[in-house]
Chain A
């Protein structure tokens, strides 16, 4: 029985590659498999090559793997680029007019089938659109999946929204693809998968997990400007916010998005925005305002490949230092980095508490491949979501206070907060340096005290911040430090290294700022050689570590500058080379 495999769907943008992949992912999930999708598409709507890879494992599944077992292509040309990724014994199904002859060395050991998806769809079902269902039917056969489970998914997708006729036709197309695959493939090509209980698990994207987390955490105001790959957060919330008496605003730009969210937060909402790339740069201005005015705000940044417009549909971790050190002036900020789907949810719910407790901006920093790809995860535990609004005063509390001061000097630097319309809470929010009541005060003595007050807020925050996570407890020859979605390939690489008798352990930084100095120091002490693995060109995470940890042992950076995240093998090879 097979316990781990990858299926790639390839074609041109507009072929329904993503749709096909996502349905397959759901189908595999219903069979109890852990699933991760890896979409790879251009930033246009139609015409350019696009592909998605569905990795399914019976046990833990960290992310896209090294090789592909089945390749289904909507046009045969698409297979040429992807053949080098094919595992030995792999199967290729492809459609298309063009005759393609793969190079002999790459074709060896693989089985090729011409599979006229479009023609079959047209002839049998009257429209090319059914090619995707036929393809999925074929894959259902090849993977020996339950047709009843597939039909269940088709019904969920079509019955309510498109009606019985469309649903039926799709089921027929799937059955047709199933039979056709049976006719043309050989018995040895079939990869029967082991089964497990699906249980209560979920399948969703990181963007959806963040959006759901925001809703659960009481976010009731979301303002954003459309940008890839963060828009899905906005889209999801736009559908669900009204039920919770909340609102989603599409603003004119990202300057407005963050300023509007700040206005909303000041007036009392749990407010949020989300962005990426250039949008984050535009938000830098108001990021500083949030720091100065001490307004609780959550900013989700789904990193894409820069600089400038870069490659909007590709992943990267090139914006870490921008948030840690960015914007004008110095102010308290918290930067969180979820590394798993569950953490996208959990860290989002925590972000709102941290923002209100410490009255500062909180950034959720993740990446395109976490934000847009689909993953399985255990059901989110809503019983663990708590709401802590920090020093926000109720009207009753305010009435009991003499002389309320919004920016009062307190022992922990955190001042009481009152919402506009409150009696006895009247104050000023000032982007200029200000006194305890919020009114402009540019004196040296006030400036020094105010700066100290704002900067000390996070001095004792570490107890509330998501801790760095250590994977494997023993002392190790190779210590792998990483953050964000790079965690997946790093964990898989560590497991692979252990198989090769290199003792490897991992440190996942879930809070990037305030920097978890002690956790990193402890980890460094426990490892002979240290590697920092991150998906960028200039070693931003390593630079951050170097700026905070003294003395520092030698660290080797493993970097990736390209258009996708690491494959586990790439990490393994570099660590092995350095250790041996």
Chain B
């Protein structure tokens, strides 16, 4: 256990009341519960309001390109599996420009925890429609209402054979911290879609709206995250949005499968020229 202040670098400048404050708090709590040294954590972010997370959360940080957080995070994890690698993206980052990377990261089951802060808009750029914007919603880019049907991250993750699929709510920071911690402890890819209201541009999906339209699956009497058909069923419900750990299964992680030796991080391998072995390999060219 560490104090959550350990990871507090600066006070965020997100709009007052933004859901990202809850995510920031939950992330710090989860890291504290895990007792992680900030030097052993890398937070990889994409482009959007969430991307400022690196400025506030104290750890190694990589603020890359729009949509490309997952390949960067995968590269880092494979080269040094001892690091705790956390990806933070927005809904535009993960489900639009980076959708391909997202699905492939899920199916590879790399040991990364991926938090997608879903505010259903591109808020950093004035609130354009995103892939999770509700059908018909008027935004700056859809003055006559969105004609695109929304997609849901957890549905995609489950279809891509995700081994840890969860949904959090940024108003429930304690619960979200629990999900993130569980995700970090999960061996393999842990995906958490976080319902996170944008208080500036999204006047539809507000905190109140989510409180009315969500329910905690942990409180459902016979729900088990090990039951995939139940997970599908609950994700297909139209009336209310399920929050909690939707699905979890055990599977070997990508690095366990693909790295010759997980105990010897590539990052610190001795690179001196192995002449003897290379000379033998060169014989193949004779």
B-contacting residues of A (Cβ < 8 Å)?
A: 201-204, 208, 212, 215-216, 218, 220-221, 223, 240, 242-247, 249, 251-253, 255-257, 259-271, 285-286, 289, 293, 379-380, 382-383, 385-387, 389, 419-423, 425-432, 438-440
Nearest chain A CB to B2's CB is how many angstroms away?
15
Inter-chain contact A420/B38, CB cutoff 8 Å? no
Interface-facing stretch out of B163-171, B188-196, B258-266: B258-266
Contact present for B104 and A382 (CB under 8 Å): no
Rounded to whole Å, the gap between the CB of B214 and the closest CB of chain A is 32
14 A-B residue pairs with CB within 8 Å? A215-B281, A218-B271, A221-B266, A243-B277, A244-B274, A245-B264, A256-B100, A260-B72, A260-B74, A263-B72, A264-B266, A267-B80, A267-B267, A421-B83
Say yes or no for B1: interface residue by CB 8 A criterion: no
Point out the residue from A218, A262, A385, A432 that lies within 8 Å of B72, measured CB to CB: A262
Using Cβ atoms and an 8 Å threshold, which residues of chain A touch B78?
221, 247, 249, 264
Query: CB distance A380 to B73 under 8 Å?
Result: no
Q: Which 8 A-B pairs have the closest CB atoms?
A: A263-B75, A268-B267, A218-B271, A264-B75, A263-B72, A259-B71, A256-B71, A267-B79
State A251–B78 Cα separation when bound (angstroms). 13
| Most chain A CB within a 10 A radius of its CB, from B267, B268, B275 | B267
B55 close to A (CB within 8 Å): yes
A240 partner residues in chain B, CB cutoff 8 A: 281
Q: Which residues of A contact B273 (CB under 8 A)?
A: 216, 218, 382, 385-387
A247-B260, A270-B271, A431-B63 known; A220+B68 contact, CB < 8 A: no
Residues of A within 8 A of B266 (CB): 220-221, 245-247, 264, 268-269
Q: CB within 8 A of A420: which of B76, B278, B281?
A: B76
The answer to whether residues A263 and B271 also contact, given A249-B78, A428-B54 and a CB cut-off of 8 A, is no
User: Which one of B47, B54, B258, B271 has the highest number of Cβ atoms from chain A below 10 Å of its Cβ?
Assistant: B271
A202, B282: Cβ atoms closer than 8 Å = yes
Please indicate the chain B residues that have their CB under 8 angstroms from the CB of A382 in the complex.
273, 275, 278-279, 282
Chain B positions within 8 Å of A430 at CB level:
54, 61, 63
Given A420-B80, A439-B55: A259 and B39 interface contact (C-beta under 8 Å): no
Expressed in whole angstroms, the minimum distance between the Cβ of B165 and any Cβ of chain A is 20
- Determine the distance from Cα of A218 to Cα of B54 in the docked complex, in whole angstroms: 31
A387 close to B271 (CB less than 8 A):
yes
Cα(A91)–Cα(B274), bound, Å: 48
* Contact call A216/B260, Cβ cutoff below 8 A: no
Interface flags, B26-58, vs A, CB<8A=1, else 0: 000000000000111010100100001011001
| Contacts between the two chains (Cβ within 8 Å), count | 191
- A245-B266, A263-B73 are known contacts. Are A269 and B60 too (CB-CB below 8 A)? no
Contacts of B229 in A (CB 8 A): none
Between B260, B266, B281, the greatest number of chain A beta carbons within 10 A of the residue's beta carbon is seen for B266
In the complex, which residues of chain B have a beta carbon less than 8 angstroms from the beta carbon of A249? 74, 78, 258
Shortest Cβ distance from residue A255 to the other chain B in the assembled complex, whole angstroms:
6
CB–CB A259/B75 < 8 A: yes
Smallest CB–CB gap between A25 and chain B, Å? 12
Chain A residues near B60 (CB, 8 Å)? Answer: 420-421, 426-428
Contacts of A386 in B (CB 8 A): 273
Measured CA separation A251–B261 after assembly (Å): 21
Interface residue? B251 (CB, 8 A) = no
In whole angstroms, what is the CA distance A98 to B175 when docked? Answer: 77
> Which of A203, A253, A285 meets B285, CB within 8 Å?
A203
B175 CB, nearest partner CB in chain A, Å: 29
Chain A's closest residue to B255 (CB) is A247
- In B100-132, the 8 Å CB interface with A consists of 100-101, 104
B64 within 8 A of A: yes
Residues of B within 8 A of A429 (CB): 61-64
Whole-angstrom distance between the Cβ of B276 and the nearest chain A Cβ? 10
Q: Which residues of A contact B237 (CB under 8 A)?
A: none
B65 at the interface (CB under 8 A from A): yes
In the complex the two chains form, is A212's CB within 8 Å of B281's CB?
yes
Residues of B within 8 Å of A440, CB to CB, are 52, 55, 63
Structural contact, B100 and A380, CB atoms closer than 8 A? no
Q: Which of A208, A242, A264, A269 contacts B260 (CB 8 A)?
A: A242
In the assembled complex, B205 has its CB within 8 A of some CB on chain A: no
